């Protein structure tokens, strides 16, 4: 698990525990996901390169650090990825956005694609794929396959909960893509759900169950 960073900040852990609680309302779940995404975004962008720009403060000229290179790309794996995306865009409003529409077939647990739209110039950009759940990793693996086929070379994957099975599968498929997660859970159950988990992230976000 060399490629995995667990974001164990106390605020992240506290908010995540409230999200896991089955009595938490849809509105609170969505709000907490947005809040957590700001903290996770802070960690996943921690090592971005900076460059120096000459500016003038009201006091004097200075060489000021600014982000280097082209705008970031956030790639949301629909639907639930949008819960992370929205908060991340609050923090990095200039980021470009890719949408990868996938759902899990409940019988086979294979990811089924229904939509894909990404900026055309992914080659030179840092691309951060986001989805709250890394369970079997079928969805994350297919999403990253597609982003790579569109040219992405510098990728990270950000989630809220990961299962050991998913991490193993994702690392085998994409050893070059670091994973950032708020928690590493125990295992998958026989239906492919993360345990202890938080249930179905999309359903809890949008009240569809």
- Residues catalogued as catalytic: 104, 108, 200, 203
Of 29 and 73, nearer to ligand URA (C-beta) is 29
- Nearest in space to 154 (alpha carbons), one of 130, 182, 118, 178: 178
Q: Nearest approach, Cβ of 96 to ligand PRP (angstroms)?
A: 21
- CB distance 204 to 83 below 8 Å: no
Half-sphere exposure in the Cβ direction for 42 (13 Å, CA): 12
**Contacting range for ligand PRP; rule: CB under 6 A; set: 41-49, 50-58, 90-98, 129-137:** 129-137
In terms of CB distance, is 45 or 166 closer to ligand URA?
A: 166
Smallest separation, CB 28 to ligand URA (Å): 17
Cβ closest to ligand URA, residue 104 vs residue 174:
104
- Give 69 or 175: the residue with its C-beta nearer to ligand PRP: 175
CB of 132 to ligand URA, least distance (A): 7
Among residue numbers 5 through 44, which ones bind ligand PRP (CB under 6 A)? none
Residue 134, contacted partner among ligand URA, ligand PRP, none, CB below 5-8 A by kind: ligand PRP
Do 174 and 127 form a contact (C-beta atoms < 8 A)?
Answer: no
Question: What does 45 bind: ligand URA, ligand PRP, none (CB cut-off 5 to 8 Å by kind)?
Answer: none
Output 33 or 137, the one with its CB closest to ligand PRP. 137
Question: In this chain, which stretch among 28-36, 58-66, 85-93, 130-138 interacts with ligand PRP, using CB under 6 A?
Answer: 130-138
State which of residues 139, 160, 180, 181 lies at the interface with ligand PRP (CB under 6 A): 139
∠ CA 15-17-20, rounded to 5°: 115
User: Site for ligand PRP (CB under 6 A): which residue of 130, 135, 147, 167?
Assistant: 135
Which residues are near ligand PRP by CB under 6 A?
77-80, 102-104, 109, 111, 131-140, 166, 192, 200-202
């Amino acid at each position: 698990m060399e490629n995995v960073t667990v974001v164990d900040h106390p605020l992240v852990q506290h908010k995540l525990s409230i999200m896991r609680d089955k009595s938490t309302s849809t509105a609170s779940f969505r709000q907490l996901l947005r809040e957590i995404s700001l903290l996770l975004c802070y960690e996943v962008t921690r090592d971005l390169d900076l460059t120096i720009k000459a500016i003038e403060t009201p006091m004097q000229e200075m060489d000021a650090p600014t982000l280097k290179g082209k705008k970031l790309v956030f790639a949301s794996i629909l639907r639930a990825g949008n819960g992370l995306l929205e908060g991340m865009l609050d923090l990095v409003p200039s980021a470009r956005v890719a949408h990868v529409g996938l759902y899990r077939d409940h019988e086979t647990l294979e990811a089924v694609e229904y939509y894909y739209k990404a900026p055309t110039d992914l080659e030179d950009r840092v691309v951060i794929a986001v989805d709250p759940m890394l369970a079997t990793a079928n969805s994350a693996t297919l999403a990253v396959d597609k982003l790579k086929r569109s040219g992405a070379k510098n990728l990270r994957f950000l989630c809220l909960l990961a299962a050991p099975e998913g991490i193993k599968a994702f690392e085998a498929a994409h050893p070059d893509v670091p994973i950032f997660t708020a928690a590493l859970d125990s295992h998958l159950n026989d239906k492919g759900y993360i345990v202890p988990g938080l249930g179905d992230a999309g359903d809890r976000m949008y009240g569809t169950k």
